[in-house]
Chains A and B, each alone.
Chain A
Amino acid sequence: MSQKLVIDPVTRVEGHGKVTVHLDENNKVTDAKFHIVEFRGFERFIQGHPYWEAPVMVQRLCGICPVSHHLAAAKAIDQIVGVDPENLSVPAQKIRKLLHFGQVFQSHALHFFYLASPDLLFGAESDPLKRNVVGVAMEYPELAKKGILMRKFGQEIIKLVAGKRIHGISTTPGGVHRRIGAKERTYFLDDKEIPSADTMIKWSVEIIDFMKSYHANNKEFLDSFAKYPSGHLGLVNKKNGFLELYDGVLRATDAQGNTTLDDVPNDDYNQYFYEAVEKWSYLKFPYLKHIGREKGWNRVGPLARLNVCEGIETPLAQKEWIDFMDQTNGQTNNMTMHTHWARLIEILYCAEMMKKLLEDDDILSNDLTRKGERRKEGVGIIEAPRGTLIHHYEVDDKDRITRCNLIVSTTHNNEPMNQAVRWVANNVLDGKSEITEGMMNQVEVAIRAYDPCLSCATHAMGQMPFELQLFDHYGNVIDQKIRT
């Protein structure tokens, strides 16, 4: 007889999903899956809308990373109006990048301080009443304050550029619609009304030091929990291979660091990716065509980005990247929990870049838009907080969108998250016939490392709970936990 465990919904992830675990007659795990059970529809209902509406509409996919969708769509729409990324005006490029770094900064800060840190500070099996942001605030109030102010700083940057913190509008086809004012940027630099960009850099360094210390004391957990070999995918700078979040070429490596995608231009992505479909999930499974479904999948996000890049352009983040890569002697890092560490290095990178851009007078310029020859197709690829985000649009002669393809970060991470769930099933749930709170949370810890945004991944509508179910050999649910 076999049995099946189900975790549904996963909490402290964006959106919700369901985990099922199948057991045999001896309670040994025979299979484990991470299901996404939400409705998918954004790619369809944007069809027929004028192309210039895409950056505004698609950002409604998400309330946490709308800027990433706004910018990815904008990059694609730039091409529709004949403007490639390198032909955007320099001020427009820098203003968009400032917006993007603000977005990644606030999203990473939110994830680390409020979603991941409770697991790290209190342990995955601690009392769930304590293991949350309120628990962090009670026991580590200074950490909580910094977390709040770091997220606020990023959101204020978004408000500066896009007009409001969520679902603002910054881009226009071929550029941006407004410059930054001199007084506006002072707000972020003078350390008066809010902590300055320098303070953000200082706090980012401090939190990386915390992570290093945590690693020293919890090496076994961070190095081994949900570790498995995988491919890694991300954008890198076309010229020097450095970490790139706004515009670059696609690079992927296998688990050993061998190149599997060699600096491919954005427009060519379609030649290299397939998206497999499984009956048990709305979320697709992207993979590299030339490697195949079984081995061609890749992680995306902070860990993948630090693996595929050759360095970071800002000095403090570069130093931290070197320390990080030393953990694996420069080899590819497949340790899932190190994703949190990588995320913090990116926080530092974003803080340094925001300061650099805020001090750059180009953002004060009125040279904001470019025009080119009208095209029928555009591809925009960006590194969203959670990983590589692809927007692809085709339009007709009447300017209406006829086709839309979105491959969002969490979709790339679908197979990796399933691998993580299988690891926990085999190492934590194996031999058990009931679900404890600690067991349930360990499944969530593995998934949370990817900071999945399931509402983005399935472009969902409606309520999205998470559940864990345990099934027996006959398909009967023998235990179940649900979080709402």
Chain B
Amino acid sequence: MKEKTILFGIGNCGRADDGLGWAFLDKIKAYLPNNYDIEYRYQLQVEDAELATNYKNVVFIDAHHQSFEKGYIWKKCHPKATESFTTHELDPESVLYLTETIYNKHPKAAILGITGDNYCLEMGLSPAATKNLSKALNFYKNSFLNPINLGTDKSHILK
């Protein structure tokens, strides 16, 4: 049985490029095999720690203010009890930390940050963000969804 993977798309499509996480899910879902689930989030919440217990792999996709050469950044996400989370929002590291602390589960996790450009109150991605989204989609499809890679070490999203 294939390892189950969940993709969390984080953001708000009403704030232009802040919708990159959701846009990624919109585009990628047609390519996902049945061991994948997707979730749209305005912000991560404590109950996501419980949801994450059901998966071997967890990927958090969000817009990123920082500029990257590739247009996106892919990095491992390590559990961490962060001190600065505010109001009702948790960062991915804290969600994983709760998953470990409360449920003693240890999913592998990564963050896919896609560079955005415009965060104004409007619908639709900027041209720059659209380009970066395309690059991030190609990266993910080639790395983890390409049939050539499936079943090999490369297919494991975090190896």
Contacts and interface: CB of A to CB of B under 8 A. Distances in A.
Q: Report if A and B associate in a common complex.
A: yes
A14 B42 CA distance: 14
A14 B102 contact: no
Contacts of A12: 86-87
A30 to B, nearest CB: 30
Contacts of B45: 151
A15 B101 contact: no
Interface in A125-149: 128-129, 132-134, 137-138, 141, 144-145, 147-149
Interface size class for chain B? Answer: 20 to 34
B147 interface: no
Contacts of A110: 46, 88
Contacts of A14: 87-88
A147 B14 contact: no
Nearest to B100: A137
Contacts of A64: 88
Contact of A148 (B50, B87, B94, B97): B50
A461 interface: yes
Contacts of A133: 46, 90, 98
A148 B83 contact: no
Given A60-B14, A137-B102, A144-B102, A114 B88 contact: yes
A129 B83 contact: yes
B114 to A, nearest CB: 20
A128 B42 CA distance: 26
Given A141-B102, A148-B102, A134 B97 contact: yes
A151 B47 CA distance: 8
Interface in B1-56: 14, 42-43, 45-47, 49-50
Contacts of B148: none
A13 B86 CA distance: 8
Nearest to B90: A133
A93 interface: no
Contact of B81 (A13, A134, A152, A483): A134
Contacts, number: 68
B150 interface: no
Interface in A104-137: 110, 113-115, 128-129, 132-134, 137
B86 A128 contact: no
Nearest to B49: A148
Nearest to A134: B81
B42 A484 contact: no
B47 A155 contact: yes
A114 B49 CA distance: 13
- For B47, B83, B97, the residue with the greatest tally of chain A CB atoms inside 10 Å of its CB is B47
A63 interface: yes
A147 B101 CA distance: 15
A64 B88 CA distance: 8
A383 to B, nearest CB: 21
A316 interface: no
A137 B86 contact: no
B81 to A, nearest CB: 4
Interface string A65-105: 00000000000000000000000000000000000000000
Nearest to A140: B102
A12 B81 CA distance: 16
Nearest to A155: B47
A138 B46 CA distance: 13
A128 B83 CA distance: 8
B42 A166 contact: yes
A484 B86 contact: yes
A63 B88 CA distance: 10
Contact of A483 (B82, B86, B98, B102): B86
A415 B2 CA distance: 57
Contacts of B128: none
B84 A484 contact: yes
Interface in B97-145: 97-98, 101-103, 121
B101 A152 contact: no
A12 B84 CA distance: 11
A484 B86 CA distance: 7
A152 B42 contact: no
B87 A141 contact: no
Contact of B43 (A13, A63, A129): A63
A134 B88 contact: no
Contacts of B121: 461
B49 A138 contact: no
Contact of A132 (B50, B83, B102): B83
12 contacts: A16-B87, A63-B88, A110-B46, A113-B46, A114-B88, A115-B88, A132-B85, A144-B102, A148-B102, A152-B47, A152-B50, A155-B47
Ranked 3 nearest A-B pairs via Cβ: A134-B81, A63-B42, A152-B47
Given A11-B86, A461-B121, 18 more contacts: A11-B87, A16-B87, A63-B43, A110-B46, A110-B88, A113-B46, A115-B88, A128-B83, A132-B85, A133-B90, A134-B81, A144-B98, A145-B103, A148-B46, A151-B47, A152-B50, A155-B47, A483-B86
